[in-house]
Amino acid sequence: MNSQQLRLNKFLAERLGVSRREADELIASNKITVDGKVAALGTRIDKTNKVCYNKKIVPFDTDFSYLAFHKPVGYVCSRRAQGHAPTIYNLLPSKYHKLKSVGRLDKDSSGLILLTNDGDFAFQMTHPKFRKTKVYEVELDKPLEPLHQQMISDFGVMLDDGPSQFKVLNNTSVGDGPGGGPPLSDSEVGEEKVRQDPPREFYTVILTEGRNRQIRRTFAALGYKVTKLHRTNFGKYELNDLKPGKYVIIEP
């Protein structure tokens, strides 16, 4: 066997930015040809082969790009604007417009997303079996009841697409500003100390799933509205001091 050969599904995943399962589906649906013939599952290729997807050549040599991007509130992760909401690609140089977002955030959320044209990397970061940890700063419209906090963390909340469980940590304490803000003044600390039940509206959420609007839907099921959702960590990658709308090149 030629040591330079690749499995066709791995090649398509890397070049098209899809998972290997999706690549297999493309092959099975007869959308892939190799040297003019419809490809079969399990096919191996090398640089001498001409691979086409929907009659367009898929180049063998591709440079992969990996970005960490700070998504601001008000932008969508799709390539097309949605209504009056602009797309994140308006904030990126044109050379990165072909990259796909990994771990999307909705229009009203902010924080860390990754972008790449490497389908294998995207699959490793998003498939549930790899359980990549994601960390969020969450603000609620009212303090979270301890029973509800325990319910989410220990048992989960049933949603339409199954139970939702993640860790919820209090993120406000006496002497600290909301959501990691500046310390309270001496007078504010005094006022805080005399309260029997100080509001705790800011939380850290840690989860390993990635279902659509999962955090918002989970809190909504218990009668809370998420007023701020900001992702700070995604797997080994951290937002750190990256400014909104800015990006850095990362290593996979």
Would you name the residues annotated as active-site residues? 106
Backbone angles phi, psi at 209, to 5 degrees: -90, 180
Q: In this structure, is the dihedral angle defined by the CA atoms of residues 138, 144, 146 and 152, taken in order, positive or negative?
A: negative
Chain-centroid distance of CA 143 in Å reads: 26
- Neighbouring C-alpha atoms within 13 Å toward the C-beta of 18: 15
Rounded CA-CA distance 130/34 in Å is 32
Rounded CA-CA distance 155/165 in Å is 7
Q: DSSP letter at 117?
A: S
Rounded CA-CA distance 209/178 in Å is 26
Kindly list the distances between the CA atom of residue 65 and the CA atoms of 62, 71, 100, 242, in Å, as whole numbers in the listed order. Answer: 10, 18, 10, 18
